[in-house]
Amino acid sequence: MSAPAGKPEAKSGHTFRKFKDGDHEWGSFQEQIFTADESDKCPTYVHKTPPCQASCPSGEDIRGWLNIVRGVEKPPKGTTMQEYAFRRSTTGNPFPSMMGRVCPAPCQTGCNRNSVEDYVGINAVEQYIGDYALEQKFTFQAGPDSGKRVAIVGGGPAGLSAAYQLRRKGHAVTLFDDHAELGGMAKYGVPGYRLPRTHLDGEIGRITAMGVEVRLKTRIGDQVQLKDLETDFDAVLLTIGCKAGRALPVPGADAPNCISGVAFLEAFNQGRLKSVAGRVVVVGGGDTSVDVVSVARRLGYAAEMKDTERPEFVVMGHTAHDVSAMAARKGADAMLISMQPVEQMNAAKHEIEDAQREGVRIRGSLLPVKVILDEKTGRATALRVIELDYTSGKPVEKPGTEMDIEADLIVSAIGQTGDLRGMEELDNGKGLIAADKFYQVPNRRGVFACGDIIRPHLLTTVIGQGSVAADSIDRYLSAKEMAKRPKIDVHHFNLLDKLREVNLEPKPFMPVAEPDLREIDRGVRGTALSGKGVGGFAVHNFEDRGAAEISQSSELFLGHFPYQERIKRTEIGPSAEEVLGHFAERMVGLNDKQAVDEAKRCMSCGMCFECDNCVIYCPQIAVKRTPKSEATMGRYVYTDYDLCIGCHICADVCPTGYIKMGMGDH
């Protein structure tokens, strides 16, 4: 697999060096030591958000569940590693099996391991967690009943994510959807060979089993009016997605055999579309366009097809394919063209490569200018395009490069818009719904909106929006002020929660009367970081910057990590000769050992993973292991400040950047 766009290929060997030849003296003591009252800085333990989490629109605690899989963070007694990792993963995203397969994984692009050799296969481990959870039939639990009722309009990933989070908070949820099944674009937009329906349906069912009332084949604005929901429920969340594809903005694009990519994929996923035309031209560049051409190659075409069975009629719901006639299909000529150069297309690079291997022709830097029509039938026969030149940094048409690409079916996958029939008053003029940063619809008290209907984006993005919207709705229902969202808005590691989990929560703070005794003296002068040695009410020398700072690779001691090749999932994608009728899943998941070994490649950026470097290399024996009775994740070591001389060695050899020189003499 090629590296993501803009990133180099994975390194073939370990190339990192902490110091260069000749670097045996400090360049400047001032850069290393802050002097105040004749005291050097001493180590403190600083939690930061790793770049994988900061790059994840769902805000998953990725580092957390990877550390669980690798065995660093131990599960509670009676809980397996897999279930504990699943619970941590689904705090932010209830779809690990789905997202492990289809998410384009911006987390992997941000992974600091790229500075060593190659990113951690986060998607692969996530799929492992999700598939295990389905096999073991893990369930979710709803929170205590709040007495509040929320209507969610739209049963796609955003609506289901919000329903999950709202049920966890104890609110009753009724979910309305105009389809026969829940799933939205995940069900009707993603082909089954990329996302097996057994896995998708299993994860949807786990959410509805929390007590979500489901009303299918019910269109709001038609059978039920929005104003009725506003009256009958305490809050309404609109997650209706963008199911209307944008037509090509060129003359002739209204021809009957010019259809949208969204409609094409929905007809296929509903089982209605079983064949395409001989020559299919798809215009796009994103994941939807790649899915369309890949499906077209798998479906092929039937030479003896009746006029009434042409794919455009099936897509529009006017007719159906004769299954027996489709048995004699042949391979379709499928071509994808994009305005962007191929290397700059928005689609996931491995999906582009898979499509090319399957026989799809892909051309970049082409701009559609006209659909050529047959004068008698009015059907499209070709798409006229012109080449684009990006030398200046902007696309410029190249005179004299126009050409006609013959086509029996033209599919536009250049964008989507919402279908707001019956709710036209919410249209912001772009076919979308406007919402503020808390996903509140302006001037509609108690009405919220999130997902593609406010801005079409990735599945992981709308899942994250569903989580934030649920939090906003919870605050609204509780009459609480909308809290400012943190700079890095993810599900963070919380040391206090971890201490509570292992019965090490600090004691309640009670002020003392003695004026000569500082309050802090009672709580932190113990042997361990939790402060249990004396007062036990404070968390010792720990600073949480996770909501504001991201752990950069420059903060890590990369020399600690040996070269270790990424463990890749096995792909069984077909060749161009094998693709016709090939609808089996392409990706084979990791086994137990592979998942653990791949998780071990995680560098746990911004959080201790118990490597012992600071203990081993401290010349003063000032850094010590926390007694087991007081230790937990993030509390593995502590510093005896009576012995510490501020030499910085512990911070220098900390692989994760968890140790910072910031605490002054006390």
pLDDT in tens, 289-333: 999 999 999 999 887 667 767 888 888 776 655 554 555 568 899
Mean pLDDT lowest among 59-68, 98-107, 483-492: 483-492
Banded model confidence at residue 352, pLDDT cuts 50, 70, 90: very high
Residue 383, pLDDT > 60, answer yes
Give 254 or 483, the one with higher predicted confidence.
254
Q: What is the predicted pLDDT for the residue at 515? A: 56
Q: How far is residue 116's CA from residue 598's CA, in Å, rounded to a whole number?
A: 15
Q: What is the predicted pLDDT for the residue at 662? A: 77
Give 168 or 76, the one with higher predicted confidence.
168
Helix (H, G, I), strand (E, B) or coil at 361: strand
Domain residue ranges in the chain = 27-49+492-566+601-666, 149-243+418-477, 245-416
Closest CA to 569 of 2, 97, 37, 124: 124
Residue 119: other Cβ atoms inside 10 A? 24
Tokens 């209507």 locate to 151
> Average of pLDDT values for 196-208?
98
Task: Kindly state the helix (H) or strand (E) to which residue 167 belongs, with its residue range.
Answer: helix 157-168
Q: How far is residue 440's CA from residue 360's CA, in Å, rounded to a whole number?
A: 43
Residues 273-291: b if buried by 16+ CB within 10 A, e if exposed: bbbbbbbbbbbbbbbbbbb
* Amino acid letter for position 287: D
Q: What is the predicted pLDDT for the residue at 534? A: 39
> Average of pLDDT values for 440-446?
96
Give 451 or 393, the one with higher predicted confidence.
451
Residue 624, pLDDT > 90, answer yes
Residue 630, pLDDT > 50, answer yes
Banded model confidence at residue 69, pLDDT cuts 50, 70, 90: very high
Contact criterion met (CB below 8 Å) for 370 and 402? no
Banded model confidence at residue 361, pLDDT cuts 50, 70, 90: very high
> Average of pLDDT values for 535-547?
77
Mean pLDDT lowest among 33-47, 143-157, 641-655: 33-47
Q: How far is residue 582's CA from residue 37's CA, in Å, rounded to a whole number?
A: 73
* Domains 149-243+418-477 and 245-416 agree in fold: yes
What distance, in Å, lies between the first and last C-alpha atoms of the chain? 53
* Amino acid letter for position 69: V
Closest CA to 117 of 606, 558, 607: 558
Q: What is the predicted pLDDT for the residue at 12? A: 60
Instruction: Locate 120 and state its tokens.
Output: 């951690």
Give 483 or 135, the one with higher predicted confidence.
135
Q: Which residues pair with 39 in a beta bridge?
A: 36
Contact criterion met (CB below 8 Å) for 658 and 47? yes
Mean pLDDT (the chain, rounded):
88
- CB neighbour list of residue 400: distance below 8 Å, 6 or more residues apart: none
Long-range contacts from 223-227, C-beta under 8 angstroms, 24+ separation: 224/176, 225/422, 226/153, 226/422, 226/423, 226/426, 226/447
Q: What is the predicted pLDDT for the residue at 11? A: 63
Give 25 or 461, the one with higher predicted confidence.
461
Q: What is the predicted pLDDT for the residue at 651? A: 92
Residue 22, pLDDT > 80, answer no
Fold exhibited by the domain 149-243+418-477: FAD/NAD(P)-binding domain (3.50.50)
pTM to 2 decimals? 0.89
Using only the alpha carbons of the chain, give its radius of gyration.
Answer: 28
Length of the chain: 666
Q: How far is residue 322's CA from residue 298's CA, in Å, rounded to a whole number?
A: 17
In CATH, what number does 245-416 get?
Answer: 3.50.50.60
Q: Which residues pair with 545 in a beta bridge?
A: none
Q: Strand 447-449 vs strand 409-412: parallel, antiparallel, or unpaired?
A: unpaired
Query: In the chain, what percentage of residues exceed pLDDT 90?
Result: 72
Residue 523, pLDDT > 60, answer no
Closest CA to 382 of 364, 402, 363, 408: 408
Instruction: Locate 267 and state its tokens.
Output: 């007809």
Q: How far is residue 411's CA from residue 256's CA, in Å, rounded to a whole number?
A: 11
Mean pLDDT lowest among 436-440, 604-608, 644-648: 644-648
Give 518 or 190, the one with higher predicted confidence.
190
